[in-house]
Amino acid sequence: MRAVGFTECGGPEEMRVLELPEPHAGPGQVRIKVAAAGVNPSDVGLRSGYLKQFFPEVFPQAEVYVVGWDAAGVIDEVGEGVRPELAVGTEAIAMLNPYLAGRGVQAEYVVVDEKTVVRAPKGADLTAASTLLMNALNARTGLDALQLAPGATVAVTGAAGAVGGYAVELAKAEGLTVIADAAEKDRDLVAGFGADHVLERGDGFAGQVRELFPDGVDAVIDAAGMDDAVAPAVRDGGSIVTFRGFTGSTDRGVRWNPVWVTDRLQDTAAMEALRDQAESGVLSLRVAATFPFEQAAEAHRLLEVGGVRGRLVLLF
């Protein structure tokens, strides 16, 4: 079986095609013949070694590391005890934590726990479907941490990105007033997600929010990783969601909520709900570019340059 990964940390050139034993489904598992797998920033962080300095435990002893969090394909093996809708021949989307044993989903075949796989969205091809779960589940987890009532105000940074864009769409679906940031070239894109106010991206974002809402907004979803710079946008006693473990400090009763998608990898109900929202058009499936899996290094180079809107996808 061919897979995409690395044997040593380094630049994009370390990404290569690996020959690995073909896995098979055991009890409570399904095997997916992968058609497409998304490339996420965390893949770059793993390959470069950047994440190793903060999370040495994510690098288990292994000769090779296969990256990739989410993939789409066709179920071709089913183990005992798997729920009936995950039958052989079903188009499916799935998640797998690449930190475990150094094995992610960027391979011709992947075996996953049945709790981490759901039917693919109807009407979407597998390339587009592969872009949903990792980023939408991240955004969903952030919104759930805030526990905002309809009518509340939430500011979203990094709104043109994959997580930020889903945060805007999910927030609007729940009746929230959304203030989002965007570069000039991305204003129409972010407005199309449903943002009520689109402000200039950058260090002045918090000040612009205060001009609109002098007391501050109820909450911030900091998908751009602005950290302390975004804190002035939130009201006294409000909340801020972060995605990289950052926890700031304020003297205004502001609650910081670092969230981790790894906490929801077996939340089948949440994945099914996101799938249904993609089917109904609430959530947008955005493919920025596709690459044959043999060109994974090129995808990593493009992602490192920045400015990607949507998700890069490897095709198998």
Which residues lie closer than 8 Å to 248 by C-beta, 6 or more apart? Answer: 227, 228, 231, 240, 254, 256
Q: What is the Cα–Cα distance from 150 to 304, expressed in whole angstroms?
A: 37
Per-residue pLDDT band at 49 (split at 50, 70, 90)? confident
Per-residue pLDDT band at 220 (split at 50, 70, 90)? very high
- Give the model confidence (pLDDT) of 119-163 as tens digits: 999 999 999 999 999 999 999 999 999 999 999 999 999 999 999
Residue 253 above 80 pLDDT? yes
* Closest to 140 (Cα-Cα) out of 170, 95, 178, 181: 170
Which residues lie closer than 8 Å to 167 by C-beta, 6 or more apart? Answer: 139, 142, 143, 156, 159, 221, 223
Residue 279 above 90 pLDDT? yes
- Give the model confidence (pLDDT) of 5-40 as tens digits: 999 999 999 999 999 999 999 999 999 999 999 999
Mean pLDDT of 215-226: 97
117's enclosing H/E stretch is strand 117-119
What percent of the chain shows pLDDT beyond 90? 87
DSSP label of 242? E
Structure-model confidence comparison of residues 295 and 56, the more confident one: 295
DSSP code string of 43-61: HHHHHHTTGGGT-GGGS-S
Q: Which two tokens stand for residue 298?
A: 């090129």
Per-residue pLDDT band at 290 (split at 50, 70, 90)? very high
* Closest to 16 (Cα-Cα) out of 58, 69, 64, 55: 64
CB contact at 8 A, 13 and 19: no
Q: Which two tokens stand for residue 97?
A: 């934590």
Q: Which two tokens stand for residue 36?
A: 């497409």
Q: Which two tokens stand for residue 100?
A: 């475990």
CB contact at 8 A, 190 and 198: yes
Q: How many CB atoms lie within 10 A of CB 104?
A: 28
Which residues lie closer than 8 Å to 292 by C-beta, 6 or more apart? Answer: 314, 315
Q: What is the Cα–Cα distance from 18 to 62, expressed in whole angstroms?
A: 13
Buried b (16+ CB within 10 A) or exposed e, 140-151: bbbbbbbebeee
Q: Parallel, antiparallel, or unpaired: how do β-strands 2-6 and 16-19 relate?
A: antiparallel
The pLDDT mean for the chain works out to 94
Q: What is the Cα–Cα distance from 208 to 194, expressed in whole angstroms?
A: 19
**Degrees to nearest 5, angle at CA 157 with 100 and 69:** 20
Mean pLDDT of 184-205: 97
Q: Which two tokens stand for residue 41?
A: 């920033």
Per-residue pLDDT band at 233 (split at 50, 70, 90)? very high
- pLDDT for the residue numbered 251: 78
Q: Parallel, antiparallel, or unpaired: how do β-strands 287-292 and 311-315 relate?
A: parallel
- Give the model confidence (pLDDT) of 76-110 as tens digits: 999 999 999 999 999 999 999 988 767 899 999 99
